[in-house]
Structure 1
Amino acid sequence: MNFLAHLYLSENNTNIMIGNFIADHVKGNKFSHYHEDIQKGILLHREIDTFTDAHDIVRTSKRRLHERYRHYDGVIIDIFYDHFLAKNWKNYSEIPLNVYVNSVYNLLNENLEILPEKTQEMLPVMIQHNWLYNYQFAKGIHEVLNGMNRRTKGKSKMNLATEDLLEHYQTFEEDFTLFFEELREFCLTKTLKI
């Protein structure tokens, strides 16, 4: 899953949200200096990734992309799934997406000094282009995928993935809807334990 899903699955605990958000920029076990709930968020992020990568529905989604994108298929599916979460946000939250996103940006900015350096570098770009809000639009997804393709110096071909999204739109959305219900249940059991 990508940023929006990881944040959403943090059950509105602000420290777990921070940990879940920064986890990709935290290497190994080097996070004992963080608040206990931030540590829990990092661990939750890793549990979500493990559950997602092993899930049959996600694997089916990735197979539609694998021939063209190879090992980038998982990254693309994460972004596609965030698109469907943003697009269908009202089905998952009573808080309007724009309000939720702005509160997340404020939370991260208020805690900027504790974020890993890579997260600090990425955050202003994310806010400037309003990634979390714009995930709901195909154009927003296309811009994110273009940026990721540039970072791979064109090797990933992710700039083409919006074509695949539109071609298999309903099928990808069905995959997301079924998978996300299972992921929400999984996270609920995990957050109750942590």
Structure 2
Amino acid sequence: MLKPYKNMKRHKAQSAMEYLMTYGWAILIIAVVLGALFSLGVFSGNSILGTACIAGSGYLCQTPIYQHTNGNVLVTLGQNTGTAWSSANFLFVPQGTVISSTTGLPVTMTYPYLTALLGNTAYGSTAFPSGYTVSVTLPANVPGVTAGTAVVVGSAATGAIWVQFTTSASPTTPQYAQIATINVKAS
């Protein structure tokens, strides 16, 4: 006959083995599923970050869309600074763009990527009064992507939207402002 102490020890070992066999398979399946999801990129940073356009004070930035067919960013912009702009040109500046130490402006402001505000016949061809909104198409200027070419669906473009504008008080001196930061995914 077995002693009670030995039976108790066997019972505990059997209980531990049953626990491992029952829940071990579930833990293994969960580990395999998580591994598959990681390899598919479900937990990558790009999938966590959504589309966002955060405007600075006095500005509006809505409904940004990154077109995968041509690499352009479509966005609705507005300004409510209290000053009517005689002319306005918009620019998407990719994240990581060098800022000039002398002017404080992105180096790309010299590139021919400014998108002129056209067709605003109610206020003049390029005028942009305070309180007005407009939809613009901006080349994304993403490094490694030729302007106007298709991009992979799901790829992201992150950066800032700048404006070059003049006012009636200083029609020959352009002013610059960063009006929004933007993160968009190609769709």
Q: Which has the higher strand share?
A: 2
TM over 0.5: no
State the structure with more CA Rg: 2
In the superposition, the TM-score normalised over structure 1's length comes to 0.23
